[in-house]
Amino acid sequence: MARPWRLRHKLLLGLALVVGILATLLAGTVQGLSSYIATMKTTDSKLRELHQAEELRSSVAQLTTPEPNAPPAEEPKRMKARLQQARQKLDEYQAQFQDTLSRRRDPDNGYQESGLIDDLKTWFGQFDKAIDKATEPSLDPHPLAEDPDIKKAHEKLVLSANEIRKAIYDDMFRSITDAKRNHRRSMIIVITCSLAAIMLMAGMLYFFYGWVFHPIQRLQQGVQYVARGDFDHPIELKTGDELEELANAFDEMAARVQATYTDLSRQVNERSRQLVRSERLVSVGFLAAGVAHEINNPLASIVFCAEALERRFQDWLAQYPQESATTQKYLSMIQSEALRCKEITQKLLEFSRVGERRREPAELLELVQAVLEIAQLLPNCKGKRIVFQPQGRLTALVNAPDIKSVVLNLVVNALDSMDEGGILTITLQQRGLLAEIVFQDTGCGMTPDVLENIFEPFFTRSRTGKGTGLGLFISHQIITQHEGMIEARSEGPNQGSTFVVRFPLQPSSIGNAPEPMSYGSNLRQAA
């Protein structure tokens, strides 16, 4: 599988192509400009040489030109003077030629011109000798210009002078030809690089849109969705580079944020339900305490009157035996039910009464095991199994009887909710600074409306029909007094139930002085 290109590799490739094209374009431009400058300099030097060469050619041409009205005897002298002038022109040309060579402006490094200069110097010497020879006494006097040696030397000088001019023209033509060739090459490079640059720019714009612009646009849209609280629009990029990794990381972060948001929403809803439940418990608790206090005395009067009637009716019932059993039954029912109501109200009064509840260090594992030993002997435990799974020994500062009451109440409720073969699993573990006891049964489960009202007083869905609806209410208040919380969960009917009890190992109010029951503090803790 080919390794995906990273974004930096793509950008480096584009940068390398741009730099390469710019470098080639610059090289072609510099080459053309350099060739133009070199040609201009060569032409300038060669024009200077040409000027000197023309003067040299003119001087050489005038070596044998006779002057009108000049005496023949002075012809050698005049010719010597012209020869000296021609040699001076040759020296001037040679100086200009050496300047051209020193500036490296001669296309062939002066090879042809150097040979012609040597030839001119040689023929200048021959011409000088021919003049000297022609001036010697002779039997056949004739003009110097008609002397064969002078004429031959002059022809060679003229030919060499013309060859120098022709060599200069050849050098200029060669320089211009090279400049034209370099110009064509530069134009080809410039045009090719320009077309390549245009194509590269178009390609880079296209790939920039696919590699950078579009992914960044998708990232921006994804961020805007998340900023609006919409987590259902993942950023899907297939670029195979850092932007895809960034999009995947952002999607993972958004998923975690969504999970956290969902969990926080669930917790807020749960806390809101607990707050409503606590408010109900506060109001119902006050009402129950007041009602219990008000009806406790009338119930005592009913019991007293029923007992008094039973004693007074003994003689009368002896006279009417057929009414005795019925009357005794009704009086006994009145007494027993009144006593039962009085017991319920007494529990409410005892619980709502502000009093001292001493807290001491207690070993939770031993406390739960003690409750389970009692629960194993209950009739509703027959055919059912209790599994206790402690994760370690925990010591908490609690009121042991109250915590035992909570554990026993939850165990009894779980046993009542299960049929034979049911399993109650109890786990004890530490969660940070909290002790956690989880009661998980395989019983009849609960519906959402039951979960909503499960901790309210006098609310019961016991299958035995014997519950008063105060057990979970009192358990909730005990755990709240211990600065903890109790929650109930169930997947639905016949899905079992789970009760989780958490309370601090070391309460904030440490000491033997008990914490009085306060409905206001219960409300704050439950929230």
Topology at the third CATH level for domain 358-527: Heat Shock Protein 90 (3.30.565)
Count of Cβ atoms closer than 10 Å to residue 6 Cβ:
15
DSSP characters over 497-511: EEEEEEEESS-SS-S
d(CA 472, CA 410): 8
d(CA 100, CA 46): 8
Please provide residue 379's backbone torsions phi and psi, each rounded to the nearest 5 degrees. Answer: -60, -35
- Identity at 378, one-letter amino acid code: L
Q: Which two three-digit tokens encode residue 268?
A: 């807020």
Q: Which two three-digit tokens encode residue 133?
A: 């020879």
Q: How many CA atoms lie within 13 A of 207 on its CB side?
A: 13
Please provide residue 422's backbone torsions phi and psi, each rounded to the nearest 5 degrees. Answer: -70, 160
The rounded Cα 458 to chain-centroid distance in angstroms is 56
Find the helix or strand (DSSP H, E) in which 168 lies.
helix 148-208
Closest CA to 437 of 419, 471, 410, 459: 410
> Do residues 161 and 54 touch, judged by C-beta distance below 8 A?
no
User: Which pLDDT score, from 0 to 100, does residue 521 have?
Assistant: 33
Count of Cβ atoms closer than 10 Å to residue 306 Cβ:
19
Mean pLDDT by 10 residues, the chain (527 residues): 64 81 82 82 87 88 76 78 89 90 84 87 88 68 73 87 88 86 83 84 77 76 80 74 76 82 81 68 64 69 74 68 70 76 68 62 91 86 90 88 90 88 92 92 88 76 62 84 88 90 80 38 31
Closest CA to 364 of 257, 502, 177: 502
User: Which pLDDT score, from 0 to 100, does residue 143 have?
Assistant: 67
User: Which pLDDT score, from 0 to 100, does residue 515 have?
Assistant: 40
d(CA 95, CA 101): 10
Going by the DSSP 8-state scheme, the letter that residue 210 receives in this structure is I
Length of the chain equals 527
User: Which pLDDT score, from 0 to 100, does residue 1 have?
Assistant: 46
Question: Any long-range contacts for 380-384 (C-beta under 8 Å, 24+ apart)?
Answer: 380/412, 380/415, 380/416, 380/464, 381/415, 382/420, 383/420, 383/421, 384/415, 384/418, 384/420, 384/421, 384/422, 384/423, 384/424
Separation in Å, CA 248 to CA 94, 220, 360? 81, 14, 54
Count of Cβ atoms closer than 10 Å to residue 423 Cβ:
15
> Do residues 90 and 60 touch, judged by C-beta distance below 8 A?
no
Q: Which two three-digit tokens encode residue 148?
A: 């064969």
Closest CA to 101 of 32, 56, 49, 165: 49
DSSP β-bridge partners for residue 500: 438, 487
User: Which pLDDT score, from 0 to 100, does residue 141 have?
Assistant: 57
In CATH, the number for domain 7-210 is 1.20.1420
User: Which pLDDT score, from 0 to 100, does residue 36 have?
Assistant: 82
Going by the DSSP 8-state scheme, the letter that residue 144 receives in this structure is G
Closest CA to 443 of 472, 412, 473: 412
> Do residues 380 and 441 touch, judged by C-beta distance below 8 A?
no
Count of Cβ atoms closer than 10 Å to residue 450 Cβ:
16
| Sign of the C-alpha dihedral computed for residues 89, 91, 97 and 100 taken in this order | negative
Closest CA to 483 of 438, 442, 517, 439: 517
d(CA 190, CA 182): 12
Domain ranges of the chain: 7-210, 241-353, 358-527
Q: How many CA atoms lie within 13 A of 237 on its CB side?
A: 27
Find the helix or strand (DSSP H, E) in which 218 lies.
helix 214-227
d(CA 356, CA 478): 13
d(CA 408, CA 369): 11
What is the pTM for the complete model shown?
A: 0.42
